[in-house]
Amino acid sequence: MTQIETDILPTLVKTGMETAVNLGLKAMGAIALWFIGRWVIGLIGRAITRALLHNAMDRTIKTWIGSIVTIGLNIFLVIAILNVFGIETTSLAALVAAAGLAVGAAWSGLLANFAAGVFLILFKPFKVGDFITAAGVTGTVTEIGMFATTLNTLENVRTIIGNNAVSTAIIQNYSANPYRAVDLRVQLAASVSADDAMALLLKSVAAIPNVIANPAPVIEIIEFTESGPKLLVRPFCHNDHYWQVVYDTHKAIAATFGDAGFPQPSVARAVKNV
């Protein structure tokens, strides 16, 4: 070993140990800051939730406020951790700005979802708790977030849809109006009097629980087929009772026609001799 190597090696070892100790201390400080910061953010989030709980503000806006505050605090926490390691956030911002063109396409979808979320909050085509169809998904709105809307479907499946997909699609809000129609079709046999069938059905359908009186149920001939007339059966109800009214109307039709002794409609078939 030469004299130069003998002089340099202790210096390198000393410098390496000092660097390792310094990085270790910074890492421990960053870890401690992360856990303490997350704990503080949790406390603040719960405090905001309690404060908004007794506020008359719309539940959707409450959710948004909570999301924005939580995300903002987490961003500040990450910046603080970077400062612990001596990373200049101004230099980092300049680096991100320089790479903006490269990552712009990747962020465009996220930004579009954010902008669409602002649209949903401002114009309120629906709110949390509404039963809707949006982007081909039907369910109850459980959350309108900054970037996505969450629905619980009829099958109790949690479905998350990007806000941009929601805002650019056709939205059907079944909870917006005080009542909705239940549309059913009933085929009569050709030998059955349509007037008699309609009178009996009107009485039985009107007696179904949660069918509203105004507007009254609609029972009309909607079509004539080879098997006989086809009836439109349309009771009205609140959206919360929709499926109960659907099932009970089917039962009422079967019971009414059975008690009246109406025959089953026959299927007409054309027979051609070859």
pLDDT (tens digit, 9 = 90+) per residue, 111-131?
A: 888 889 888 988 899 999 999
Q: How far apart are CA 108 and CA 173, in angstroms?
A: 28
Q: Give Cβ neighbours of residue 259 (< 8 Å, ≥ 6 apart).
A: none
pLDDT digits (tens, 9 = 90+) for 161-170: 999 999 999 9
Q: Is 80 exceeded by the pLDDT of residue 79?
A: no
3-state secondary structure 151-179: EEECCCCEEEEEHHHHHHCCEEECCCCCC
Kindly list the distances between the CA atom of residue 217 and the CA atoms of 202, 229, 254, in Å, as whole numbers in the listed order. Answer: 7, 19, 17
pLDDT (0 to 100) of residue 80: 76
Q: What is the pLDDT of residue 81?
A: 75
Which residue segments constitute the domains of the chain, with CATH numbers given?
A: 10-98 (no CATH), 180-260 (3.30.70.100)
CA distance linking residue 241 with residue 209, whole number of Å:
9
C-alpha to C-alpha distance for 136 and 194, rounded to whole angstroms: 37
Give pLDDT, residue 237: 97
The Cβ-side half-sphere exposure at 15, using a 13 Å CA radius, reads 5
State the pairing for strand pair 236-237/131-134.
unpaired
Count of residues making up the chain: 274
Higher pLDDT, 63 or 101: 63
